[in-house]
Amino acid sequence: MNIAVVLRQVPDLIEPPEVDPSGTKFDLGAATFILNESDDHALEQALLMKEAGGGTITVLAFDFGDVDNTLYTAAAKGADRIVKLLWQEADPPTPHVAAAMLAEAIRPLRPELVLVGVNAHNELDGVLPPFLAQALAFPYVGVIRGVQNGPDPGAVSVRKEFPGAVMAQLQVQLPAVLGILGAEQPPRYVPVSRIRAATKTAQFEETEPSAAVDELPVAVRRLYPPAASGHAEMLTGSADEIAARIMTLLADKGILK
């Protein structure tokens, strides 16, 4: 099966994101970028399908953040082809822009299946997968927790999660776009030695799509950092002093009388 996988770079939330002076977007100047978690699962699902039934995997990603390390890791895991979309802006493309550009790059590949993480935590004006499906004129099914080759060569069997952790088994006709929430197993670990080897052998194909993008239906007017509702109190002193302070706090809250 010919599978295309989209990988996105997102800010690492180990550090709280800052709002830039305009108040309408995040300040990414000091951010560290990592692979979007659900995209990592999308790649893992593609690898599992390739191992089960053969085929090829093409990975596509924008030239943004720490993308080269992500792409070399994908090659070390087993991706057959790497396509890097040139991007010169300081901020990542919005889902609408990304969908139009990715669709232009994906069409010549003629994939039977396009896998992409169901969402990313920095998407503010919608999520990418359904926009991409619309741009490709492919059917879309999201919140997928497993994909298997179906008995019909023109379809795949997917496990879709509904609210309340209700699972459904669906047959999806190909070609299609699937929004992956989780692969059938956790993303595999790749030794650093294999990634270093991939840096010497993997070839990136660079493309600069020129797809026209319609005006966004919504605009972000203002972002606000969450307001602190309280602060922790660090207890210091001897064991007796700390115990006494805990007793006082519990009494003040009416827990002890």
Task: Kindly write down the DSSP assignment for every residue of the chain, as one continuous string.
Answer: -EEEEE--EEE-TTS--EE-TTSSSEE-TT--EEE-HHHHHHHHHHHHHHHHH--EEEEEEES-SSHHHHHHHHHHHT-SEEEEE---SSSPPPHHHHHHHHHHHHGGG--SEEEEES--TT--S--HHHHHHHHHT--EEEEEEEEEE-SSTTEEEEEEEETTTEEEEEEEESSEEEEES--SSPPPP--HHHHHHHHHH--EEEE------PPPS-------PPPP--------S-HHHHHHHHHHHHHHTTS--
Q: Is 231 exposed, middle or buried (0-12, 13-18, 19+ CB in 10 A)?
A: exposed
What percent of the chain is predicted at pLDDT more than 90?
72
pLDDT bin (cut points 50, 70, 90) of residue 134 is: very high
In a domain, 254, yes or no: no
- The tally of domains found in the chain comes to 1
In a domain, 95, yes or no: yes
Q: Is 146 domain-assigned?
A: yes
pLDDT over threshold 80, residue 217: no
Task: Answer yes or no: is pLDDT of 224 > 90.
Answer: no
Asked, for residue 127, whether it belongs to a domain, the answer is yes
Q: What is the C-alpha separation between 222 and 96, in angstroms, rounded?
A: 19
Q: Is the pLDDT of residue 254 over 80?
A: yes
Among residues of the chain, what percentage have pLDDT more than 70? 98
Q: How far apart are CA 99 and CA 113, in angstroms?
A: 16
Poorest-pLDDT segment among 25-39, 41-55, 56-70, 136-150: 25-39
Domain of 96 in residue numbering reads as 2-207
pLDDT at 203 over 90: yes
The residue with greater pLDDT, 215 or 242, is 242
For the stretch 146-175, pLDDT in tens is 999 877 889 999 999 999 989 999 999 999
What is the domain-level CATH number for residue 114? 3.40.50.620
Average pLDDT over residues 68-88: 97
> Is the confidence at residue 102, as pLDDT, over 90?
yes
pLDDT top residue among 84 and 17: 84
Asked whether residue 237 is assigned to any structural domain, the reply reads no
Say yes or no to pLDDT of 212 above 80.
Answer: no
pTM of the predicted model as reported, rounded to 2 decimal places: 0.86
Residue 122 resides in a domain: yes
- Two structure tokens written together for 135: 């741009």
Q: Within 10 Å of residue 255's Cβ, how many Cβ atoms?
A: 9
Residue 217 in any domain: the answer is no
pLDDT band at 215 (very low <50, low <70, confident <90, very high): low
Instruction: Identify whether 240 is part of a domain.
Output: no
Q: Is 216's pLDDT higher than 80?
A: no
Bigger pLDDT: 215 vs 144: 144
pLDDT of residue 12: 94
Q: Residue 180 pairs with which residues in a beta bridge?
A: 117, 144
Interval 56-67 mean pLDDT: 96
Question: What whole-number distance in Å separates Cα of residue 140 and Cα of residue 175?
Answer: 9
Instruction: Give the pLDDT band of residue 81 (cuts 50, 70, 90).
Output: very high
